[in-house]
Amino acid sequence: MRTALFPGTFDPITLGHTDIIDRSMDLFDKIIIGIGVNAGKQPMFPLEQRINWIQNIYKDQPKIEVKTYTGLTVNFCEEIEAQTIIRGLRTVSDFEYEKAIADMNQMLNPQIETIFLACSAKYSSFSSTMVRDVIRNQGDSSLFLPMEIKQQVSLIQQTMFQ
């Protein structure tokens, strides 16, 4: 079975993320969306909320699973028996950063390959960080979010500023 890991914080999951996931489904038998938990980061959205959002978006896709992990991504790959790490690229600077991580992962475990998928052009100009800034500043974040979570994020956004 060809299993891949798509790691990230998904805080929140954006149309850029779903673009990469959707386009990866034909390449693998199973894709595990791995939400990395980093004690040094304070996410905007609780872990359970992010898990629920992704599960809701992909509820009709049996190839997709959502799991959380801490520690090294290559160690998590070993745990879930993933042979491939999927990484999305928006810009040239993304490539430089992601290539360095891929090189390190290759050194740590030569059995795990990283593949890079370029984000579709319409999603290449924004990131989760930018979407969080839009949310914090009461902008229209629905332009960047999957349909399944737009309303929930909007409600959360409204309660943040009351």
CB proximity list for 5: less than 8 A, separation 6 or greater? 31, 32, 34, 73, 76, 77, 80, 82, 84, 85, 86
- How far is 138 from 145, CA to CA, in rounded Å? 15
Q: Strand, helix or coil at 118?
A: strand
Q: Say which of 24, 87, 90, 127 is annotated catalytic.
A: 90
Query: Out of 24, 127, 128, 141, which one is annotated catalytic?
Result: 128
17 is catalytic: yes
All residues at 6 or more sequence positions from 62 whose CB lies less than 8 Å from its CB, including other chains: none
Active site residue 41: yes
Residue from 17, 24, 50, 87 carrying the catalytic annotation: 17
Q: Is 90 a catalytic residue?
A: yes
Distance CA 98, CA 6 (A): 13
* CA distances in angstroms from 42 to 11, 16, 31, 45, 158, listed in the order given: 10, 22, 26, 9, 20
**Residues with catalytic roles:** 17, 41, 90, 128
